[in-house]
């Protein structure tokens, strides 16, 4: 069902990164469910994690390890989120890291663990550890596509994005993969996303880069308003591209890198929404004329989370009254309803708080039948704008989430 996704684009290798996958039977047999991303010594890393207070054990351990050393490997499993598992879950995550560290000859703190899947069940650490040699056996720098498959859960398609850009006379590559289809409302973080570049970047600049890009991409999507316990977005920089190190954000090199990273992040984030559980529509919500970005986002998310708006889009029903009702209850300090104007793509449906004189049901229906629709809300209160992406709410969303564990 993934709206407008037609398979993985070409994913360029990133010098210094090798990926390996295995079938470890974490939850189901005959499924690629274990991924190792190996990076060369000296690789810098920046990451953002879920803001959910019930963060998963691997998030706790990854944060701890990030504070101690640069990573030599990422260890990712699906089938079990290792969340809500208390202290035993922490020990499970550490044991898996230690096992991988021993195999590749590094310190345990140089391995970052990531898990996704069912919450509240113990991690089957023996099966994961048993699967590690198979991952290492097929490590290769063209492993991105298989790794994209290896991190899927309810995703129907693998998700990847890749860019090449010039920095000075050098070519820099940015390649990434992501997973996620439900429990999607990243909050200063993302679903699992792993992106690497061979750019030479200092740690502080890399962290700025990842946070800036995340704010315009993964932090601007919502499927169901549920923030996962396991969200993580990781940007690795191997530093093998050969250019002078990017050590400040006021530079053309940084601007170029940020643009590529943001493009990759945005393509991955939008791919998550396009593949949202049960999605039949890809919806962009743009709110302009706000006093603050917070106001614009509050209005946008109120629309994007309204089950009534989402089911109307599923039904291709131009029931714009539901959008108007959502705007009207958005938690912002002031709203002059007489200044609100709403477009669906190019079609004006509400002008200054009332139905547009030229609007007809037939025109509305023609827009609502499209697979990709932009809702534009002009508040008439200021000059700030914000944009997010979401999906509709279909029978299949309920079916998938009612059946997820069965």
Under rule CB under 8 A, residue 350 binds a second copy: yes
Active site residue 190: yes
Q: What would the x/- binding string for a second copy be over residues 159 to 188, using CB under 8 A? A: -----------------------xx-x-x-
- Which span sits near a second copy by CB under 8 A: 24-32, 139-147, 208-216, 391-399? 391-399
- Which span sits near a second copy by CB under 8 A: 31-39, 144-152, 306-314, 374-382? 306-314
Write out the binding residues for a second copy, residues 34-73 only, by CB under 8 A.
Answer: 51-55
Considering only 141, 146, 226, 247, the residue that binds a second copy (CB under 8 A) is 226
Under rule CB under 8 A, residue 347 binds a second copy: no
What's the closest the beta carbon of residue 32 comes to a second copy, in angstroms? Answer: 24
Q: Which is nearer to a second copy, 28 or 329 (CB)?
A: 329
Under rule CB under 8 A, residue 228 binds a second copy: yes
Under rule CB under 8 A, residue 190 binds a second copy: no
Under rule CB under 8 A, residue 299 binds a second copy: no
- Which span sits near a second copy by CB under 8 A: 32-40, 66-74, 84-92, 209-217? 84-92
Q: Which is nearer to a second copy, 54 or 252 (CB)?
A: 54
Instruction: Return the HEC string of the chain.
Output: CCCCCCCCCCCCCCCCEEEEEECCCCCCCCCCCEEEEEECCCCEEEEEECCCCCCCHHHHHHHHHHCCCCCCEEEEECCECCCCCHHHHHHHHHHHHHHHHHHHCCCHHHEEEEEECECCCCCCHHHHHHHHHHHHHCCECCCHHHHHHHCCCCCCCCEEEEEEEEECCEEEEEEEEECCCCCCCCCCCCCCEEEEECCCECHHHHHHHHHHHHHCCHHHEECCCCCCCCCEEEEEECCCCCCCCECCCCCHHHHHHHHHHHHHHHHHHHHHHHCCCCCCCEEEEEEEEECCHHHHHHHHHHHHHCHHHHHHHHCCCCCHHHHHHHHHHCCCCCCCHHHCEEEECCEEEEECCEECCCCCHHHHHHHHCCCEEEEEEECCCCCEEEEEEEECCCHHHHHHHHHCCC
Catalytic choice (190, 238, 262, 280): 190
- Residues found near a second copy in the complex (CB under 8 A): 51-55, 81, 83-87, 118-120, 182-183, 185, 187, 224-229, 305-308, 311-312, 314-315, 317, 319-322, 324-329, 335, 337, 350, 353-355, 393-395, 397-399, 401-406
Residues known to be catalytic = 190
């Amino acid at each position: 069902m993934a709206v407008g996704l037609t398979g993985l684009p070409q994913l360029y290798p990133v010098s210094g990164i090798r990926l390996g996958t295995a079938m470890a039977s974490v939850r189901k047999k005959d499924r690629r469910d274990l991924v190792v991303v190996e990076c060369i010594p000296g690789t810098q890393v920046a990451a953002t994690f879920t803001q959910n207070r019930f963060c998963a054990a691997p998030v706790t351990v990854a944060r701890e390890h990030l504070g101690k050393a640069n990573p030599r490997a990422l260890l990712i499993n699906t089938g079990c989120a290792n969340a809500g598992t208390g202290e035993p879950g922490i020990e499970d995550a550490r044991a898996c890291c230690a096992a991988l560290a021993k195999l590749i000859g590094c310190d345990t703190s140089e391995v970052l663990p990531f898990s996704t899947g069912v919450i509240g069940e113990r991690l089957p650490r023996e099966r994961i550890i048993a699967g590690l040699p198979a991952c290492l056996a097929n490590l290769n720098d063209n492993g991105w596509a298989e790794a994209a498959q290896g991190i899927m859960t309810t995703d129907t398609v693998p998700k990847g994005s890749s860019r090449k850009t010039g920095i000075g006379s050098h070519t820099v590559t940015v390649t990434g993969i992501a997973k996620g289809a439900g429990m999607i409302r990243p909050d200063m973080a993302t679903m699992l996303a792993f992106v690497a570049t061979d750019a030479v970047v200092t740690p502080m600049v890399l962290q700025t880069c990842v946070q800036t890009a995340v704010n315009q991409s993964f932090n601007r999507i919502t499927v169901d308003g549920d923030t996962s316990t396991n969200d993580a977005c990781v940007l690795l920089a191997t530093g093998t591209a050969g250019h002078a190190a990017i050590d400040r954000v006021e530079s053309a090199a940084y601007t170029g890198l940020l643009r590529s990273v943001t493009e990759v992040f945005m393509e991955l984030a939008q791919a998550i929404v396009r593949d949202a559980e049960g999605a039949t529509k890809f919806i962009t919500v743009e709110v302009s004329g706000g006093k603050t970005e917070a106001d614009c986002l509050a209005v946008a998310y109120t629309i994007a989370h309204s089950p009534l708006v989402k089911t109307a889009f599923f039904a291709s029903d131009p029931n714009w009254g539901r959008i108007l009702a959502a705007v009207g209850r958005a938690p912002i300090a002031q709203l002059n309803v007489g200044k609100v104007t709403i477009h669906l793509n190019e079609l004006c449906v509400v002008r200054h708080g009332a139905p547009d004189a030229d609007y007809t049901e037939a025109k509305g229906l023609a827009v609502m039948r499209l697979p990709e629709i932009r809702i534009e809300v002009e508040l008439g209160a200021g000059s700030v704008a914000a944009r997010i992406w979401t999906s509709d709410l279909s029978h299949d969303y309920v079916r998938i989430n009612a059946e997820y564990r069965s």
